Structure 1
Amino acid sequence: MTTVMVARAVARAPAACLRPIPYFTRPRSNCVSHTIFRPWLPTVPLARSPGRSFRPPTLSVGQPSSGYRYASSSPARTVPDKILKLLPVSLKSEPGNQTTNIRQLFALAKPEKRSLLTAFGLLLVSSSVTMSVPLTFGKLIDFFSHGTRPDIIPDSVTPVTAAAAILAAFTIGAAANAGRVILMRSAAARIIARLRKATYASALRQDIEYLERTAGPGDVVSRLNADAYIVGDSLTGNLSDGVRAVVTASIGLSLMFYISPTLTALMLAIVPPVSLGAFAYGRYLKRLSNRTQEGLGEMSKVANEALSAARTVQAFTAAPREQDRFAAKVDLVQSLAIKEARASAAFFGTTGWAGNVIVLGLLGYGGSLVSRGQISVGDLTSLLMYTAYVGGSLSMLSSFFSSLMKGLGASERVFSLWQREPMVRSLGSRTFVVQKDHGDIRFDNISFAYPSRPGAEILRGFSMAIRGKGDSVAIVGKSGSGKSSIQSLLFRFYDPDSGCITVNGHDIQQFSVDSWRSAIGIVPQDPVLFTGTISENIAYGCPTATQSEIEEAARLANCDFIWEMPEKFQTKIGRDSLSGGQRQRVAIARALLKKPALLCLDEATSALDALSELRVNEAIERILQSHETSTLIVAHRLSTISRAGRIVVLEDGRVTEEGTYQTLVGNPESRFRQLMASQLDAL
């Protein structure tokens, strides 16, 4: 039995290296004499690259990761302070090989040092009680069967007092074990909570390309839920089991050698050959486990995509196709599980047979030693009990190594998110102050292609200006011409491949990303409302706003429907609780409450009925007439476009025409007039 457990422990021990997550780089911007190299969007997890050793991406303080480097200037802190506070110190240094990864994994438990040390003390107590039982039972058997009193049994001991003493020892061991479980599980809950908070914070700081295209929400949620739980469980419950297994096995083997070195050596003789087979099995099992984890990730992604687009799936009666897509991923995971089951059956069947043969040999040879008087019946009984105890301990140890492997794999996914640097980075640390820094916003010879489609350039030499406070510009063009991409660049969801965007003469990359975005308000085509009250949704970008400020923003945005509701601003809403026009007006109020330097309207009326469009346009007109903010309008509706001070026509990624509404409409050769012909003819 012991040999079987040793073999299983070796089989599940960590292999030589983990699956690599390669980082590739390519140039993305050379604006203002800075050259940025950004990762070519690695998908986690990636398959093993033949011939490449594992080197995880870097999580560093004061030094960018190897996947994202500055060619000049002093690098800024790569991880936000709020996230750093959640991480152990050793996790803030560069990881190296697998040993380093294991150290970093254990470093997550450092904040729980006191609880864990207390739990380990209780573990020693319970393990000591447990391991004293076989020796005591053996001595009692000899005493009561032959009347020979061993030295360790006092003269006053009777069967009743012996049973009472053993029961008391069991009670102490049980109490210590209960305390250990409480402490370990409480520590696990706290570790998992910290992991999830830090992982969520890391996810929110990632660039849009990664969140929407590379990893996707399903993968990030999987890291928050499953991976964080596996890591936390590996560091507490499984670590406790591992330590208990080591303590129990060490004590048990020592006492077995004390009782009979010959029988113990016989039992251990078969371990080396079985262990070689176990090592090969362990490597095969690890490869299967990696493929299974990848398959589970793909399965989660497919399910998330379909369920998040349930209306589209049902509207196009695509449920059978989505079921087939999901079933294909499930079948892949199932086939891998069956392969693992077959390999496990072969290995454990063989080692189980070998273990039984060893026990049979111990009984036969041990019986001959008893008959020759070299050991007593009680000693043989103790030895066999210790064999079972040590076997159970080694079984726990194998489970510990197996869980450690899972924890390492899960921590790799969690750490890779923590360590990943967003493609959008600030080249400076200036804070954008609206009163001081607001001025002309200029696009200077911008070229841009989405990282996922590098060959499809969206903007080519695009130049445009928004001339200070009160100016309003409408961008007009065919679908796919790059109108919304301009707003994405303004918000620094992406950075241009070449060229610069400046405000008041300063490159916007010199400002911190958060301070710059805080100065911009946006009303998207399909506004997102969060679960909460209407008041909370309006104040989403300005949580310190007073109720009077919230109501004033709602009035400016024509949100008169709020006052008609029974609970008014305290009405509970969700993502789709309001109509399209109502959501648009709440979004306008949310943007206005920030008192932005620039307001971006992205197809704000394209999906509205005539009455809703009128109410939204009235709100837009009120904003434009106030001259309190610059406005950038992306629209197809003539009723919205005509309100802008200037109109820019965008074709093939560059400006082909610019002028006022009256000028462009009055020119029969105008491209704007041609694009708007159907709407102009309807007037």
Structure 2
Amino acid sequence: MYSICKLPNEVVLQIFKHLSGEKVQELIRYYKGIESASPLLILLYQRLFGGVLLIQNGAPRVDSAGDYLLTIDAFEDKILNDGSFEGTMFENVRPNLVEFKFTRQTADYQRFISDLNSLLQLLESDNPKLRRYFEHAQQINFHLDAHLVFIENPDTLNSIIIKLLLELSRHNLTKKINKFTIKSSEIGSLYVAHWSKLFQYFSSLNTLDLSENLIRSNHEHFLDVWGMSKKFPSTLTTLNMNNNMLTYISKDFIHNLPPSLEVLLMNQNDVEIIEPCDLHGALPKLRNWSLNYTKLCVLSPSLVTKASRGNVIWPSATRLSRQCFNSARHSLVLNHIRLNSTTAKQGPPPHQQEQNGQAVPPPEGSPKGNKPPRSTLFKDLVKLIKLAKPESKLIFFALLCLATSSATTMSLPLIIGKIIDTAKPLDDEDEESDDADPKTTTEDKQLIFGLPPARFYSALAIVFVIGSSANFGRIYLLRTVGEKLVARLRSRLFSKILAQDAYFFDIGPTKVGMKTGDLISRIASDTQIISKSLSMNISDGMRSIISGVVGVSMMCYVSWKLTLCMSLLFPPLIAMSFFYGRRIKALSRLIQENIGALTKVTEEKLNGVKVIQSFAQQQSVVHGYNKEIKNIFNSSLREGKLSGIYFSVNGFLGNITMIGLLVIGTKLIGMGELTIGDLSSFMMYAVYTGSSVFGLGNFYTELMKGLGAAERVFELVEYQPKISNNIGKKLQLKGDIIIKDVDFKYPSRSDVVIFEKLNLHIKEGENLCLVGPSGSGKSTISQLLLRYYDPDSGQIIVGDESLTDIKDLNLNDYRRQIGYVQQEPLLFSGTVKENVTFGKQDATEEEIDRALELSHSLAFVKSLPDGLDTRIGASTSTQLSGGQKQRISLARTLIKEPKILILDEATSALDSISEEEVMKNLSGLNRKKGITIISIAHRLSTIKNSDRVVVFNENGEIVEDGDFHTLHNDQNSHFNRLLKSSKLE
């Protein structure tokens, strides 16, 4: 070994090239434990992996200046806490191609995040070795694959991806990155318009793989936002967006792809519509656009003339047909598509049509070997099972306990049969045959499984104790799995709901908006059903399978004739179970939706008890409530009827089968083919097997119920907000606010135009008041400024010298600098102190008192029974007036010292003295700290304290803009007309 180490690496590599793979692996195993043999190990690895320098689990110093492809699988093993390289591992290595692979095939989410953070730490350290190391590399590839369906905190992963892209840009490494892969990482929840901008700096990027990220069908959110912004690198040749649940591909997206694109992969999506476009003009180099295994694809009813499963769809427009879909250059490959008969007619495969007397070959570049589409039911089932992946170890041990307890249970019939046979009279003529062995004694005949009765029963007791202990372990472990699953799912759902934008609550996945009652039902009830389906139900299903397999095997062992008779029962039972399970899934979802509707009505009516009583409408409200109850009753009755038919028929068939087995079994005993003990064992195994068949039916039923509930949960988990909360740059708010050419309609009322080309310039430190009739859009401005909604067109810009669209800002950071007080504030159940410090939980006592003083609340708070520790909220007995609630809400806002303060009729419930005091304090705050105040008011006292008044008309147009005195003194002003007509609100 020592002599070969003295040779140059290139010579050693030439020697190793003549060795077989088996010999190389043998040498690796031999040298692996020898520390001084580390250089040889590296060269052996290079020989084994065909010129790839593979470093895993830490590596020694490598003295070589050759070009290698360096693959790093687990960065955590190579980085010290200070972010430097471990030892001198990379001191002389100068790889030509570096590939970072971060892949997690299991649910080890924390390890995956730790690896990514280690790389970030390394990039941020500005290590000179790293700089020299990367300077030599000609090409760098990144592969990130979280390989998870549900990530505990997707925002954490998404922010790390953003930081990674930023650091790569800062190091100018983007010029060397040839391939970038982000898979199974829930990047659909990223704010695409921001993170996609970073990819425009990847000037050498050739392949971008964004497959399996569940981006969903937000074409305006993902495809168009990215495409229309022209954020794709100009060198891109391959774009992979497979399995992202995309449903719509617009022509704008296609036209804004880089002309360099040659391969566009969109397989296994749910594409329903592709807008007609000139592919040849937009993508002159496109060789392959693959949409294999999509649900439905319609270019346009007028464009599609021929289609065949497994082949190419050719549009009839001559220019497109001739230039964009030429089989020699361009192809739109749409294999295995479930076509709508009204939009596409099937015809012979185009590549089988004759052209000049010869068959045209299939287009080049057509994807081969794609897997056929799985049914929606199977996909949902896979997603449902993956929910329990983090508890896979507990489930494994639970199933081990299940196997042990089932083995104990299934041995019982055989044991009972043997005991029965040994209990027969010893002088029975049937047992005293002429050819009996004379050496067989009475004691031998009383042996059970070769053991004396005393020892046998002692061993049997031990087996039963083991079985009972295993059963305890099964129940306890599965209960733990269920509770962990429910806790994780509820936390995940609650976090997902809080991260949603206003569009979710206005429209949401149901297209009619998500209401609180329905959300509560999904969090509380649906998760419980899923938990049951994946814990105890899985156990019952596995027990039924084990019981069925063992039972049938033992029945065949005892009597194959009786087993054959019983097997006639299986086909009808399986068919009924399948039909019943499919129906019960739909009914289960319907029941859960009805429960959600009932919860919504219950919450709404209980919150409005006083209003109901004031109108004496208790009876009508109860009548409406009973309608919701009746919906649940009717759907549950349908489920009960279906279940009654299913189980009664099963029971009837089971009883008939048992009687039939007894009749046939007694005949076999008379023929001498069975003993009484054998028949007893067989009947017990038949009962177990029949129970297992029924159990499998119940298992399938509960699984379908779980799938019905899971569909409602997946709707929330997979729904991606149009507006992301924590993506974007952080900016200290200062300067003016500019609303420029804004058009807006609420998504739930798309036919009502709120603003059209609205322009408003709000200066920094200004005290502005918005007035106008009800419905003129005053409160909508506050919604847009807080970015609960985005304008349909136009911009909202903040800043002084450098103006920034609020879409480019980190929304959480932006909102922390804005104070918002509503007319009807919500106070959470808790103490006054907890409510006041909600926006600044580390506030000091002095800051709390200061905020209460500014909101004119200090005196009345101190007069409460427990002062700041007095519990308030809907669930307490302490009742606050509307004005007191408004003042505490104002204190909660002021304590965080906002740069912009929005008051939406925030003092409407105050008496004139309190309002005057509050407005005086706010004016002083405006002058001292220069905060911008935007008030929406209908009281003259509030309007008078403003520097500027902006008047809106019923159409959402600004009709007047000036100071209070100028507008008030003009008798013909819109402002005065509003005052006189009492339309000012």
Distance 1:326 1:440 in 2: 50
Measured at CA, do residues 447 and 603 of structure 1 come closer, stay the same or move farther in structure 2, by a change above 3 Å? same
Does the 8 Å CA contact 1:210/1:216 hold for their aligned counterparts? no
Q: Equivalent of 2:938, from 614, 617, 636? A: 636
Does the 8 Å CA contact 1:257/1:264 hold for their aligned counterparts? yes
Distance 2:692 2:871 in 1: 55
Distance 1:392 1:117 in 2: 24
Q: What is the TM-score of this pair, normalised by structure 2? A: 0.58
Question: Is 1:586 matched with 2:888?
Answer: yes
Distance 2:959 2:701 in 1: 63
Q: Which amino acid aligns with 1:605?
A: T
* Higher-RCO chain (CA-CA 8 Å, sequence separation at least 6): 1
Partner of residue 115, structure 1: 394
Distance 1:633 1:289 in 2: 49
Question: Is 1:487 matched with 2:782?
Answer: yes
Q: Equivalent of 1:432, from 723, 726, 731? A: 731
Structure 1 residues 196-205 or 180-189, which shifts more?
180-189
Does the 8 Å CA contact 1:482/1:653 hold for their aligned counterparts? yes
Distance 1:313 1:680 in 2: 28
Distance 1:188 1:475 in 2: 53
Partner of residue 98, structure 1: 377
Question: Could you report, residue by residue, the CA deviation over 1:455-492 in whole angstroms, capped at 9, with x for unpaired residues?
Answer: 11112222111101x21110000111111011011111
Measured at CA, do residues 246 and 276 of structure 1 come closer, stay the same or move farther in structure 2, by a change above 3 Å? closer
Distance 2:424 2:536 in 1: 42
Partner of residue 548, structure 1: 846
Give the 5 Å matches for 1:65-144.
Answer: 65-66=217-218, 68-73=221-226, 97-144=376-423
Does the 8 Å CA contact 2:381/2:707 hold for their aligned counterparts? yes
Does the 8 Å CA contact 1:638/1:676 hold for their aligned counterparts? no
Distance 2:725 2:211 in 1: 18
Q: Equivalent of 2:656, from 327, 340, 357? A: 357
Question: Is 1:233 matched with 2:536?
Answer: no
Distance 1:209 1:540 in 2: 25
Q: What is the deviation of 1:269?
A: 1.6
Q: Which has the higher helix share?
A: 1
Distance 2:501 2:945 in 1: 33
Does the 8 Å CA contact 2:886/2:909 hold for their aligned counterparts? no
Distance 1:198 1:167 in 2: 46
Question: Is 1:601 matched with 2:909?
Answer: no
Question: Is 1:676 matched with 2:974?
Answer: no
Partner of residue 517, structure 1: 815
Q: Which amino acid aligns with 1:440?
A: D
Whose radius of gyration is greater, 1 or 2?
2
Q: Equivalent of 2:570, from 244, 261, 271? A: 271
Q: What is the deviation of 1:274?
A: 4.7
Give the 5 Å matches for 1:490-569.
Answer: 490-504=785-799, 505-561=803-859, 562-565=861-864, 567-569=866-868
Question: Could you report, residue by residue, the CA deviation over 1:55-84 in whole angstroms, capped at 9, with x for unpaired residues?
Answer: xxx9964946546434143899xxxxxxxx
Measured at CA, do residues 274 and 61 of structure 1 come closer, stay the same or move farther in structure 2, by a change above 3 Å? closer
Does the 8 Å CA contact 1:285/1:340 hold for their aligned counterparts? yes
Q: Equivalent of 1:463, from 738, 747, 759? A: 759
Q: Equivalent of 2:713, from 406, 414, 417? A: 414
Q: Equivalent of 1:375, from 671, 674, 696? A: 674
Partner of residue 83, structure 1: none
Question: Is 1:192 matched with 2:482?
Answer: no
Distance 2:399 2:575 in 1: 32
Q: Which amino acid aligns with 2:491?
A: K
Measured at CA, do residues 389 and 75 of structure 1 come closer, stay the same or move farther in structure 2, by a change above 3 Å? farther
Distance 1:299 1:679 in 2: 40
- Percent identity reads 35
Measured at CA, do residues 292 and 532 of structure 1 come closer, stay the same or move farther in structure 2, by a change above 3 Å? closer
Distance 1:71 1:150 in 2: 85
Question: Could you report, residue by residue, the CA deviation over 1:239-260 in whole angstroms, capped at 9, with x for unpaired residues?
Answer: 1111121112211111111111
Partner of residue 445, structure 1: 741
Q: What is the deviation of 1:286?
A: 3.7
Does the 8 Å CA contact 1:650/1:657 hold for their aligned counterparts? yes
Distance 1:406 1:679 in 2: 56
Q: Which amino acid aligns with 2:959?
A: T
Question: Is 1:223 matched with 2:522?
Answer: yes
Q: Which amino acid aligns with 2:544?
A: A
Does the 8 Å CA contact 2:584/2:701 hold for their aligned counterparts? no
How many residue pairs are counted as aligned between the two chains?
609
Distance 2:212 2:616 in 1: 49
Measured at CA, do residues 134 and 428 of structure 1 come closer, stay the same or move farther in structure 2, by a change above 3 Å? closer
Give the 5 Å matches for 1:57-68.
Answer: 61=213, 63=215, 65-66=217-218, 68=221
Partner of residue 396, structure 1: 695
Measured at CA, do residues 100 and 596 of structure 1 come closer, stay the same or move farther in structure 2, by a change above 3 Å? same
RMSD, aligned α-carbons = 3.0
Question: Is 1:478 matched with 2:778?
Answer: no
Distance 1:454 1:200 in 2: 28
Partner of residue 477, structure 2: 183
Measured at CA, do residues 122 and 346 of structure 1 come closer, stay the same or move farther in structure 2, by a change above 3 Å? closer
Does the 8 Å CA contact 1:188/1:233 hold for their aligned counterparts? yes
Q: Which amino acid aligns with 2:775?
A: G
Q: Which amino acid aligns with 1:456?
A: V
Question: Could you report, residue by residue, the CA deviation over 1:223-273 in whole angstroms, capped at 9, with x for unpaired residues?
Answer: 110011111121111111111211122111111111111101110123224
Q: What is the deviation of 1:318?
A: 2.2
Question: Could you report, residue by residue, the CA deviation over 1:411-448 in whole angstroms, capped at 9, with x for unpaired residues?
Answer: 111121011112334796211323xxx21101112221
Question: Is 1:331 matched with 2:630?
Answer: yes
Question: Could you report, residue by residue, the CA deviation over 1:163-186 in whole angstroms, capped at 9, with x for unpaired residues?
Answer: 444333222211111121111111
Distance 2:963 2:487 in 1: 56
Partner of residue 452, structure 2: 157
Q: What is the deviation of 1:333?
A: 2.4
Does the 8 Å CA contact 1:432/1:519 hold for their aligned counterparts? no
Measured at CA, do residues 279 and 532 of structure 1 come closer, stay the same or move farther in structure 2, by a change above 3 Å? closer
Distance 1:266 1:228 in 2: 43
Q: What is the TM-score of this pair, normalised by structure 1? A: 0.83
Measured at CA, do residues 650 and 70 of structure 1 come closer, stay the same or move farther in structure 2, by a change above 3 Å? farther
Q: What is the deviation of 1:121?
A: 1.3
3-state SS in 1 of match to 2:919: helix
Does the 8 Å CA contact 2:589/2:709 hold for their aligned counterparts? no
Q: What is the deviation of 1:511?
A: 0.7
Q: Which runs of 5+ in 1 are unaligned?
A: 1-30, 36-57, 77-89
Does the 8 Å CA contact 1:646/1:658 hold for their aligned counterparts? yes
Give the 5 Å matches for 1:26-37.
Answer: none
Q: Which runs of 5+ in 2 are unaligned?
A: 1-192, 198-209, 230-243, 246-267, 271-373, 432-443, 508-512
3-state SS in 2 of match to 1:481: coil
Give the 5 Å matches for 1:195-214.
Answer: 195-211=489-505, 214=513
Does the 8 Å CA contact 1:59/1:420 hold for their aligned counterparts? no
3-state SS in 2 of match to 1:181: helix
Distance 2:593 2:400 in 1: 39
Distance 1:277 1:402 in 2: 11
Measured at CA, do residues 451 and 296 of structure 1 come closer, stay the same or move farther in structure 2, by a change above 3 Å? same
